[in-house]
Amino acid sequence: MAEAPEQIPGERSARGAGTDSSMGRPPLSIAESVGKGRTLRGDAWRRLRKNRLAVAGLVWVAIMVLLAVSADLWVPRYLGDPVDIDTTQAASQSLQPPSWDHLLGTDRMSRDIASRIIYGARASLLVGAVAVGIMLVIGLVMGAVAAYYGGIWDSIIMRAADIFLAFPYVLFAIVLVGVMGGGSPTNVFLAIGLLGWPGIARIFRGSVLAVRENEYVDAARAMGASTPRILFRHIMPNAIAPLVVYATMSIGVAILAEAALSFLGMGVQPPAPSWGGMLSEARGYLFTAPWLMVYPGIGILTTVLAFVLLGDGLRDALDVRKKE
């Protein structure tokens, strides 16, 4: 796709569209991204910037991270504490609809919803990041071992990946957390991380197998580089593009899974704020206080959507399909 000359949007570019995952967007040609000093990363960044949906996703993720990180500095002071209940006026402030005092309304315990949503973002993003981190560590090691040592190791690891992939994701996450004991963040991280590694392992294994045939890997080995050095210094940077895309998408999936677990009462435990937990509380007030249900859901939807759009954009920008 990238080598094609200027493509005319419309009928003629339909041939390339099979590999073009950017639904509804004209593919960018390399001619558009020619600059003075060009690096692979610079090219990718230029292509990403031209993708409006991906930029929107990136901006939204940045806003969420900023809100979550800075929450302690301003949220309790201006919006209200997300957990503590102000007993002096708890009754009068309970279940207030959105107003100037409480932009998104209050919950049953008269806590400010906006404040709880911002702290909920913290929980969601933390789970997303840590779970995907665990997933990456297990997946990279498994994938590298499978590809590099091959033979029996390859068979064992790839069959194990098949077994994990045979489990329905959400169902098994719920069962795993249910068995390990809900309510502990560690168990939520572990369950989501444990279930996600086969995807990473498969992608990394494929990339390693493809990349290690290159001459520069032989050259590095001839110069006496150790196996880990070859893996991380020479193979990894050339195999990273599909992993970046997959990991970005996985953060969205992990956030959805955490929300589901908290909704079922197995994730973040009340009174600590989490989007899924807030939705679970809202279930009791679907008809009397519908705003309880609206905003946490929008929080989940927009954040996951941002990661999906960013992942889609990265796939196009890094031209992952071509390398696969």
Query: Whose Cβ is closer to other proteins: residue 127's or residue 217's?
Result: 127
Can you tell me whether residue 106 is helix, strand or coil?
A: strand
DSSP letter for each residue of 9-37: TTGGGGGGGGG---TTSPPPPGGGG--SS
Residues 6+ apart with CB under 8 A from 176: 187, 191, 194, 195
Distance CA 238, CA 268 (A): 38
Q: Phi, psi (5° rounding) for residue 112?
A: -70, 125
* 41 part of the interface to other proteins, by CB under 8 A: no
Alpha helix positions (H), the chain: 40-50, 52-78, 113-149, 151-166, 169-180, 185-211, 215-222, 227-229, 240-263, 275-282, 291-318, 320-323
For tokens 């639904």, the residue is: 23
Query: Whose Cβ is closer to other proteins: residue 67's or residue 305's?
Result: 305
Which one of 162, 214, 228, 322 is in contact with other proteins (CB under 8 A)?
162
Scan residues 1-40 and list those touching other proteins (CB under 8 A): 9-11, 14-18, 20-21, 23-26
Nearest residue to 307 via CA among 243, 240, 250, 244? 250
Query: Whose Cβ is closer to other proteins: residue 246's or residue 263's?
Result: 263
Query: Whose Cβ is closer to other proteins: residue 80's or residue 199's?
Result: 199
181 CB-contact burial (10 Å; exposed 0-12 / middle 13-18 / buried 19+): exposed
Scan residues 96-115 and list those touching other proteins (CB under 8 A): none
CB of 240 to other proteins, least distance (A): 24
* 63 part of the interface to other proteins, by CB under 8 A: no
Which one of 309, 310, 314, 317 is in contact with other proteins (CB under 8 A)?
309
* 287 part of the interface to other proteins, by CB under 8 A: yes
* 276 part of the interface to other proteins, by CB under 8 A: yes
For residue 271, say if its preceding peptide bond is cis, omega within 30 degrees of 0. yes
Q: Which residues pair with 106 in a beta bridge?
A: 112
* 310 part of the interface to other proteins, by CB under 8 A: no
Query: Whose Cβ is closer to other proteins: residue 77's or residue 159's?
Result: 159
**Contact code string over 228-257 relative to other proteins, x by CB under 8 A:** ------------------------x---x-
- Give contact residues for other proteins (rule: CB under 8 A): 9-11, 14-18, 20-21, 23-26, 53, 159-160, 162-163, 166-172, 174-176, 178-181, 252, 256, 259-260, 263-264, 266, 276, 279, 282-283, 286-287, 290, 293, 297, 300-302, 304-305, 308-309, 312
